[in-house]
Amino acid sequence: MKILITGFDPFGGEAINPALEAVKLLPDTIGGAQIIKAEIPTVFGKSAAIVAEKIDAHQPDVVLNIGQAGGRFAISPERVAINVDDARIPDNEGNQPVDEVIQAQGQPAYFTQLPIKAMVEAMKAAGIPAAVSNTAGTFVCNHIMYQVQYMIDTQYPAIKGGFIHVPFIPQQVVDKAGQPAMSLADIAAGLEAAVSAIVEFSDKDDLKAIGGAIH
């Protein structure tokens, strides 16, 4: 089994992106699966093109993209991606699409094929705060999750895809009063536990566990 895991480059003047740095810390094999790591730019369009190249080159069984969602307390596997780019701020190359369809021929939304409930339970069992998220936003994180799902829908039906958001690390909240943070080591440990669950549940249904949200 091969799992392609990507992390975004630093965004908006940040020195590092914990998503990418945590991916770098992952071992080369998890649960017997080969882990292929890649950096992608926080840029609409270009990020998807690079992931497509990596898929063609490595033919993975799973594509897992990692990004940061500052303000979240927990590592958050995403349930769904929607077919819209609506950028509140520009990406790393100054692009700022507003109310634009990602793929004209794509579905309004795509759900992940990954066992997000099992991934959350595995992270919690490892002592890492984790929760299912039901919105990936409308910035580059949702964009890449949707684009990968579109590739799966139209070209790679055997691949499973998904996205995980990670919190700030302590260095990023020094001047952000009241913002939650998680150490890079804990983020990496959580991602490893999540990937272990992906491997374990590769041939069975996800757990039936509470993971919904009121809002």
Which residues are tagged catalytic?
A: 78, 141, 165
C-alpha–C-alpha distance, residues 196 and 145, integer Å:
20
Q: Can you name the residues that pair with 166 across neighbouring β-strands?
A: 68
C-alpha–C-alpha distance, residues 115 and 167, integer Å:
20
In degrees, rounded to 5, the angle at the alpha carbon of residue 199 between the alpha carbons of residues 194 and 202 is 120
What b/e readout covers 177-188, taking b as 16+ CB neighbours within 10 angstroms? eeeebbebebbb
Phi, psi of 55 (to 5 degrees): -65, -45
Q: At 187, is the secondary structure helix, strand, or coil? A: helix
C-alpha–C-alpha distance, residues 35 and 14, integer Å:
26
